[in-house]
């Protein structure tokens, strides 16, 4: 007898979509197949799709940026996440000056306790370069950090590392069996351009994008890939935004460089025309939104399996915080998106499939699961516990009804932001139910879970 059986669902397993049943026992997926035995509870799921719970591998929960704090802390961000079918978030530590790598990790980890609606793993930001922090890299990985993240930009915020610092971090990460995650923008070039624009009297949002052209992404991609190769360190590039950056990656891969790549919905679905709007400052993020063509090229790469992960870089600020800034240099950078990640990607990719512009429907379902569950779980050491519908995995599940049509409306979302970058965009389908380790936490519009259901998840790289 199973605890719960889904009947007649389209079940997205790693290698095929099965029309059949799924049984849960003791919080784990116990069996998948046709005609399973009885469950204490049964859900008739014909016409609906069962995906593995979504893993958003790049979120910032409650971070200070340019004098403001992003509005979704652990509680708000995880609440928004579960309504979007996300059952695991990977957040970033914030390393204060003088705080050790392990201290910053433990402080962030303590903040998850009792506060989250979904499971949370952590990447460790390495922003305070010194011998002590270098020496702590193996320890923070042993404590379950999913990745070690560095920045090639944000010198004014004290976060940017130099090339020799990157080499040192990469070498330690490599020796400890970890993964180096990189925000790849040439920060000095961006600061140089921004200062020039400010001197010309530019204050507007478009100046932000002009100060961070695709060239500075492509240069940083090439440079950090080179540094990582010298240090023999596995590399994961966060938030790839441009066709020029993508071309650089293609050339590196053609020369046998191994690189894992993430992009985000804002670079696939939004474009830089937003900066010309009266509320353009709200869309400030780094990297900036790009031209429409960049998004189309990145989408091709997503469909062509050249991009491993789609994650959000969720970092929403209130309208007041965005609008209060005097000029583009002082707007807090970041856009929210955790709740709409899966529905918007489902909509975009299934629409392309129906228009004959992408592989057939079932292939798209497999691709969605791979990009937003299997790959992040495997890359960040959460598999085989999470990320796939296979026997023995934790029963983190998303039941999706593909039939409804609606639009994104900020007032319907469950985070703390008072606006949304995707307002008015069409969504196909709806999250009907979400299960976390076998417990139902969302039923349509009802939140059944509570803050504290979510646990810290230790990453175990190399054990997948």
From 62-70, 177-185, 369-377, 403-411, give the range in contact with Zn ion by CB under 5 A: 177-185
Q: Which is nearer to ligand URP, 261 or 364 (CB)?
A: 261
Q: Which is nearer to ligand URP, 187 or 429 (CB)?
A: 187
- Among ligand URP, Zn ion, none, partner that 333 touches (CB below 5 to 8 angstroms by kind): ligand URP
Verify binding: residue 128, Zn ion, rule CB under 5 A: no
Strands 68-69, 64-65: pairing is antiparallel
Binding site for ligand URP (CB under 6 A): 60, 183, 285-286, 313, 315, 333-334
CB of 245 to ligand URP, least distance (A): 15
- Among Zn ion, ligand URP, none, partner that 285 touches (CB below 5 to 8 angstroms by kind): ligand URP
Q: Which is nearer to ligand URP, 46 or 162 (CB)?
A: 162
CB of 261 to Zn ion, least distance (A): 14
CB of 269 to ligand URP, least distance (A): 16
CB of 315 to ligand URP, least distance (A): 4
Q: Among all residues, whose Cβ is closest to ligand URP?
A: 333
- Among Zn ion, ligand URP, none, partner that 290 touches (CB below 5 to 8 angstroms by kind): none
- Among ligand URP, Zn ion, none, partner that 100 touches (CB below 5 to 8 angstroms by kind): none
Verify binding: residue 385, Zn ion, rule CB under 5 A: no
CB of 141 to Zn ion, least distance (A): 20
CB of 423 to ligand URP, least distance (A): 19
Sequence-separated (6 or more) residues with CB below 8 Å from residue 270? 283, 289, 295, 421, 422
Q: Which is nearer to ligand URP, 159 or 365 (CB)?
A: 159
From 208-216, 306-314, 335-343, 357-365, give the range in contact with Zn ion by CB under 5 A: 306-314
CB of 324 to ligand URP, least distance (A): 17
Q: Among all residues, whose Cβ is closest to Zn ion?
A: 183
For every residue of the chain, which 3-state class applies, written as one string?
Answer: CEEEEEEEEEEECCCCEEEEEEEEECCEEEEEECCCCCEEEEEECCCCEEEECEEEEEECCCCEECCEECCCCHHHHHHHHHHCCEEEEEEECCCCCCCCHHHHHHHHHHHHCCCCCCEEEEEEECCCCCHHHHHCHHHHHHCCCCCEEEECCCCCCCCECCHHHHHHHHHHHHHCCCCEEEECCCHHHHHHHHHHHHHCCCCCHHHHHHHCCHHHHHHHHHHHHHHHHHCCCCEEEEEECCHHHHHHHHHHHHCCCCCEEEECHHHHHCCHHHHHCCCHHHHCCCCCCCCHHHHHHHHHHHHCCCCCEECCCECCCCHHHHHHCCCCCCCCCCECCCCCHHHHHHHHHHHHHHCCCCCCHHHHHHHHHHHHHHHHHHHCCCCCCCCCCCCCCECCEEEEEEEEEEECCHHHCCCCCCCCCCCCCEEEEEEEEEEECCEEEEECCEECCCCCCCCECCCCCCCC
The single residue among 76, 191, 313, 394 that binds Zn ion, judged by CB under 5 A, is 313
Q: Which is nearer to Zn ion, 45 or 235 (CB)?
A: 235
CB of 166 to Zn ion, least distance (A): 15
From 95-103, 165-173, 178-186, 413-421, give the range in contact with Zn ion by CB under 5 A: 178-186
CB of 284 to ligand URP, least distance (A): 7
Verify binding: residue 183, Zn ion, rule CB under 5 A: yes
Interacting residue ranges for Zn ion, rule: CB under 5 A: 183, 313
């Amino acid at each position: 007898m199973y605890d719960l059986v889904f009947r007649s669902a389209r079940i997205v397993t790693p290698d095929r979509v099965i029309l059949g049943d799924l049984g849960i026992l003791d919080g784990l997926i116990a069996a998948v197949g046709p005609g399973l035995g009885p469950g204490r509870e049964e859900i008739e799921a014909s016409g609906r799709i069962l995906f593995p719970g979504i893993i958003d591998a790049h979120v910032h929960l409650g971070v200070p940026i340019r004098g403001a704090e992003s509005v979704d802390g652990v509680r708000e961000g995880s609440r928004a996440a579960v309504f979007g079918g996300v059952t695991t978030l990977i957040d970033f530590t914030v390393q204060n000056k003088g705080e050790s790598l392990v201290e910053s990790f433990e402080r962030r980890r303590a903040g998850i306790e009792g506060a989250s609606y979904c499971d949370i793993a952590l990447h460790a930001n390495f922003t305070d370069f010194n011998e002590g922090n270098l020496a702590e890299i193996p320890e923070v990985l042993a404590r379950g950090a999913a990745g070690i993240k560095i920045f090639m930009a944000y010198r004014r915020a004290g976060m940017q590392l130099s090339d020799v610092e990157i080499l040192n971090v990469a070498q330690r990460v490599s020796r400890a069996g970890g993964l180096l995650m990189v925000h790849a923008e040439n920060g000095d070039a961006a600061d140089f351009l921004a200062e020039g624009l400010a001197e010309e009297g530019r204050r507007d949002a478009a100046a932000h994008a002009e100060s961070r052209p695709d060239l500075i992404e492509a240069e940083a991609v090439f440079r950090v890939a080179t540094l990582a190769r010298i240090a023999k360190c596995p590399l994961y590039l966060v938030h790839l935004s441009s066709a020029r950056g993508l071309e650089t990656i293609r050339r590196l891969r053609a020369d046998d460089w191994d690189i894992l790549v993430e992009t985000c919905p804002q670079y696939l679905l939004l474009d830089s025309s937003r900066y010309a709007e009266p509320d353009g400052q709200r869309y400030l993020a780094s990297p900036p939104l790009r031209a429409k063509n960049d998004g189309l090229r990145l989408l091709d790469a997503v469909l062509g399996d050249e991009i491993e992960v789609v994650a959000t870089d969720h970092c929403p600020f209130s309208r007041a915080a965005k609008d209060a800034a005097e000029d583009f240099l002082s707007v807090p950078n970041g856009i929210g998106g955790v709740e709409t990640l899966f529905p918007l990607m489902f909509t975009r990719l299934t629409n392309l499939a129906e228009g004959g512009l992408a592989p057939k429907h079932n292939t798209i379902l497999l691709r969605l699961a791979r990009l937003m569950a299997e790959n992040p779980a495997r890359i960040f050491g959460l598999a085989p516990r999470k990320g796939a519908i296979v026997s023995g995995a934790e029963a983190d599940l998303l039941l999706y009804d593909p039939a409804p049509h609606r639009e994104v409306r900020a007032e319907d979302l469950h985070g703390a932001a008072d606006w949304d970058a995707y307002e008015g965009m069409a969504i196909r389908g709806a999250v009907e139910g979400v299960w976390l380790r076998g417990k139902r936490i969302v039923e349509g519009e009802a939140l059944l879970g509570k803050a504290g259901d979510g646990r810290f998840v230790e990453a175990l790289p190399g054990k997948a």
